[in-house]
Amino acid sequence: MKYFFYPLILFTTLLLSCKKDPTTEQSSEKPSSAMTTSSEKHYAIVIHGGAGTIKKANMTPEQEIAYKEKLQEALNVGYQILENGGSALDAVQKTINIMEDSPLFNAGKGAVYNSAGEHELDASIMDGNTLNSGAVAGVKHIKNPINAARIVMDSTHHVMMAGQGAEDFAKLYGIEMVDVSYFDTEKRYEQLLKAQEREKIVLDHTSMNTDELIDDHKYGTVGAVAIDKNGNIAAATSTGGMTNKKYGRVGDSPIIGAGTYANNKTCGVSATGTGEFFIRTLATHETSNLMQYKNLSLQESLDNVIKQIGDLGGDGGMVALDKDANIAWSFNTEGMYRGYKKSNGENVIKFYEE
């Protein structure tokens, strides 16, 4: 009997020692829950509305209010998409739509005139997760060029489509088309006439000279960069180009790596300014390269590239965010319409050099 009793005691003891204590089990779950909360990625969106001669002395209080309200509206639209768990791609596209529909900027409704007295619009968008991209150039009837760029990215194996071919393709997907007169604005036409008198090309916001203000500071190329809750980055840019540009001229805005770039490993960037210099330096891609291969910070990378552009004789600026949702911008002009909104509660809008 005793030989049976001792093994039974040993078995019972082992069984009890292996049984989990409810108190211990409950407390072990708390760090796991806390870890999940702390590991949630931050989300954010940063935008620009062009760079150039943007001085407080040239802005009326009414103009400042108009720009702040429109930039805030654009930020809010993109941020709400991110807050609701939407993609960075959708956020930048819808944000750009707000600015394309406003005559305050040189994109969509507020597009400038080329040397032939016409409007030719460009746009691009890029997915930092897949490096997939889409762009349109030289379109004349597409109300929101960024929407056409998104279709090129999502529905073709191409990156860029231009001119009539891009418009015919956009029609197949129901992209809204408008008569060329939709883009006409009196101020833009006056700007063209003044530029032609001086036989020079005018940037997004640059006044003809320091003695004469013609409201150029009201307009500019638009861009947006966002990072969503999944850590995916997207960037987009849309423009009407440069006043009095040669018809058929294409700048940096629709060129991936020049005016727009996004890569989840590094950052997303959107540019505005003298497009030829951003093309020659591959400005937005160079920003990413400096981060990836030189281990520079986002701000250092932007400043480095803008200095290169300035040294070559170009003007402009860029806005960007990195994979950790850090925001940065850099410009060598007297101002740049810009702003950002982050999941930590920060909401900033600025115009002037500060």
Residues annotated catalytic, as ranges: 221
- Rounded-to-integer distance, Cα 300 and Cα 343, Å: 24
Q: DSSP H helical segments within the chain, as ranges?
A: 2-18, 22-38, 61-83, 88-100, 145-155, 163-172, 186-198, 275-280, 283-294, 298-312
Question: Which contiguous run of DSSP H or E holds residue 134?
Answer: strand 133-139
Contact between 121 and 107 under an 8 Å Cβ cutoff? The reply is yes
- Rounded-to-integer distance, Cα 253 and Cα 58, Å: 27
* Residue among 207, 241, 218, 251 nearest 113 (CA): 241
- Rounded-to-integer distance, Cα 289 and Cα 295, Å: 9
- Beta-carbon contacts of 305 under 8 Å, excluding residues fewer than 6 positions away, are 281, 283, 286, 287, 290, 318, 330
User: Strand pairing partners for 320?
Assistant: 269, 328
**Strands 133-139 and 160-162, how do they pair?**
parallel
- Rounded-to-integer distance, Cα 159 and Cα 138, Å: 15
Handedness of CA 256, 298, 267, 170 (dihedral sign): negative
